């Protein structure tokens, strides 16, 4: 997971990427309601890398003192339909679903 110019190590147990959006750690705070352009790379069923360009809005950014990082929640607002459909399967297979998606 990269944001900005660097790469911030992610906790694979809490990283989330699903059809609703993405949650990740960032060294920078991202203010709520900031609209972001996202270039998302994700695997297909064969493990090949696919890419999608999406837009999202920051809905929350919380400082986690123990990590010295911000936990950021981005909601996808504009993403290719094919990407969202594939993300349903990919997030389930990789275990990156958010709690809402886990119920469906």
Residue 58 lies in a domain: yes
Distance of alpha carbon 81 from the chain centroid: 16
Where residue 10 falls among pLDDT bands split at 50, 70, 90? low
Where residue 63 falls among pLDDT bands split at 50, 70, 90? very high
Residue 103 lies in a domain: no
**56 touches 87 (CB < 8 A):** no
Residue 28 lies in a domain: yes
Residue 84 lies in a domain: yes
**For the whole prediction, is pTM greater than 0.85?**
no
Residue 102 lies in a domain: no
- Residue 88 neighbours by CB distance under 10 Å: 14
* Structural domains counted in the chain: 1
Q: Which tens digits make up the pLDDT trace of 70-84?
A: 999 999 999 999 999
3-state secondary structure of 70: strand
The domain in which residue 63 lies consists of: 2-95
3-state secondary structure of 90: helix
Residue 100 lies in a domain: no
Residue 101 lies in a domain: no
Residue 41 lies in a domain: yes
Domain CATH code at residue 74: 2.40.10
**63 touches 29 (CB < 8 A):** yes
């Amino acid at each position: 997971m990269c944001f900005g110019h660097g790469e911030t190590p992610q906790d694979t147990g809490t990283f989330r990427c699903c059809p609703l959006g993405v949650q990740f750690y960032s060294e920078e705070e991202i203010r709520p309601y900031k609209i972001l352009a996202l270039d998302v790379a994700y695997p297909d069923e064969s493990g090949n890398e696919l890419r999608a360009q999406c837009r999202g809005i920051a809905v929350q950014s919380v400082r986690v003192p123990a990590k010295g990082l911000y936990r950021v929640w981005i909601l996808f607002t504009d993403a290719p339909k094919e990407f969202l459909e594939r993300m349903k399967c990919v997030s389930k297979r990789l275990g990156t679903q958010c709690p809402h998606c886990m119920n469906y």
